[in-house]
Structure 1
Amino acid sequence: MARMPAAERRRQLVEAAIRVMTRDGVARATTRSIAAEAGVSLSVFHYCFASKQDLFESVVETITEHSVAGVDPSVALEGTVRDTVRAGLRAYWDHVVTHPGEHMLTYELTQYALRRPGFEHLARRQYERYAAAHVQLVERLRDSAGLELLVPAATLARYLAVVTDGLTLNHLVLCDPERAEELLDVIADQCAALVRRPPRP
C-alpha cells in the first residue's frame, strides 16, 4: 500500500465512507466496511480518525462541499438578476438530480445524529455548515454580479437553505422533475425580488 499524507488518507476514507453510507445506509456502515472500501487496513482507519464521531464530522463537511462545489452564479452575469439567481439554483439542482443518493444520505445523517446519544450536535453542525455555505454563495453572487441585497446576506442564505432543503427532500420522495423545475422558478422569482442591481452613476 502506497504511503500518502495523513490529510489525503483521511479524505480517501471520508469519500469511501460516503460511498458505503450511500449504498448501505448509515447504521450499517462499519469502520471495517469503510476501510475495505478505501482499500486500507483497520489500523490505518483508526490512525486517521479517533472515533466514528470524528469520521461523521468529516463526512458532514465533505457532503456539504459536494453539494455546493459546482454552484457558480457568475455563469449568468450577462442576464437579469433573476437569470443569475436561477443559474445558481440550476447548478445546485443538477447535483441533486445526478447524485440523489448523496442527498438522501444527508437526511439519514441528520436523523441518525438526532437519535444517537452523543451525536446530536452533529445534526446542528450539519445545518450550520449548510447555512455557512449558503452565506458564501449569496456573498459570491452579490460580489460577482455587483448586486445590492435588500435583506441581510445571512437572512437570504437561510431562506435559500430552508427552501432548497425542503425541495430536495420533496423531490427524493415524489421524484417529480417537472414540478421541481416549476418550484425552482418560483424560488428564483422570490430571491430576485430580494436583490437589485444598484443604479449606474
Structure 2
Amino acid sequence: MGRMPSAERRRQLVEAAIRAMTRDGVARTTTRSICAEAGVSLSVFHYCFESKQALLEAAIETITGNYVARVMSAVEPGATLRETVRGALQTYWDHVTAHPGEHMLTYDLTQYALREPGFEHLARAQYEQYVVAAAALVEQVRAPRGLRPSVSVETIARYLAAVIDGLTVQFLVLGDDKAAAAQLDLTAEQLVFLIEG
C-alpha cells in the first residue's frame, strides 16, 4: 500500500481488528493477525498504536461511536416522544439482528478486559461510553420538547444502557425475535415515562 495519513492507517487497523476479533475472538487475535487482515506490516501497527491495549480502546470507541451515530440519525424531529424512543431502539436493534457477531464482540471485549491484568479500565471505559451515548440520546429527545424528567438524565442513561445490554445478550443467547420486540416496546414505554417526568 502507498503512503497514507496516520489517521487513515489507524482507522484501517481498527476496522481490521474489529473484523478479526469478530471472526476469531479477542484472545486469539494478535497484532500480527490484525496486520495481516489490514494488509500492512507490523511496523505500521507500532507506528499507529503503542500497544494492543491502545488498539482495543480505539476499537471500543469506534464500535460505540458507530452505534451512537446510527441511532442519532434515526431520531425524527417531528415524531412523538414514544415514536422517537421506539424508533431509536429499533434502529439499534436492527443492527443487533443484522450483525450479531459484532455485538458478541462487545461482550468478548468486556470479558477479555476484565480477565487480562492491566486491561480492566477498558471494560469500565466501554460501559461509561454506553452511558454517555444513552445520555446523549435522552438529551436529544428531551431538550427540544422542554421535558424535565423526575430523575436525572444520567440515571435514565444508566438504566437504558443496562436494559439494552441485558436485552442484547438475552437475544444473542436465545434468538427470540418475538420476545425481543415485546421487551423493546416495554423499554420504550418505561423510557417515555421516565423522560416525561
Q: Contact 2:81 / 2:141 at 8 angstroms: preserved in 1?
A: no
Contact 1:26 1:108 in 2 (8 A): yes
Matches within 5 A, 1:71-150: 71-72=71-72, 75-150=75-150
String of CA shifts for 1:130-187, please: whole Å, max 9, x gaps.
1111111111122345443232111111110000000000000000011100000000
Distance 1:6 1:159 in 2: 38
Hey, what's the Cα distance between the residues in 2 that align with 1:75 and 1:154?
20
Deviates more, 1:183-192 or 1:75-84: 75-84
SS in 2 for 1:173: helix
Q: CA RMSD in A?
A: 1.6
Q: Which moves more between the two structures, 9-18 or 127-136?
A: 127-136
Does 2:41 correspond to 1:3?
Answer: no
Between the aligned partners of 2:76 and 2:87, the Cα distance in structure 1 is 6
**Match in the other structure for 1:182:** 182
| 1:194 CA drift (Å) | 1.4
Q: Tell me the amino acid that sits aligned with residue 166 of structure 2.
A: G
Any idea what the Cα deviations from partners look like across 1:111-134, whole Å, max 9, x if unmatched? 011111111111111111111111
Q: Which runs of 5+ in 2 are unaligned?
A: none
Structure 1: which amino acid aligns with 2:115? R
TM-score normalized by the length of structure 2: 0.94
TM-score by length of 1: 0.92
CA distance in 2, matches of 1:99, 1:164: 16
What percent of counterpart residues are identical? 63
Which structure 1 segments of 5+ residues have no match? none
Does the Cα contact within 8 Å between 1:73 and 1:141 map onto a contact in 2?
no
Residue type of the alignment partner of 1:90: Q
**Per the alignment, do residues 46 and 73 of structure 1 end up closer, same or farther by CA in structure 2, a change over 3 Å counting?**
closer
In 2, distance between residues paired with 1:3 and 1:146? 50
Contact 2:114 2:120 in 1 (8 A): yes
Q: Residues 74, 119 of structure 1: CA spacing in aligned structure 2 closer, same or farther, 3 A cutoff?
A: closer
Q: Secondary structure at the match of 1:143?
A: helix
Tell whether the 8 Å contact from 1:73 to 1:85 is kept in structure 2 after alignment. no
| Distance (whole Å) between structure 2 residues aligned to residue 87 and residue 163 of structure 1 | 16
Moved more, 57-66 or 181-190: 57-66
Conserved 8 A contact 1:67-1:92: yes
Q: How many residues matched? A: 197
Aligned to 2:195: 195
The CA distance in 1 between the partners of 2:68 and 2:59, in whole Å, is: 15
Deviation track 1:92-114 (CA, whole Å, cap 9, x = no partner) reads 11111111111100000110111
Q: Look up the match of 1:165.
A: 165
- Secondary structure in 2 aligned to 1:158? helix
Q: Which residue of 2 aligns with 1:50?
A: 50
For 2:12 and 2:20, the matched residues in 1 are separated by 12
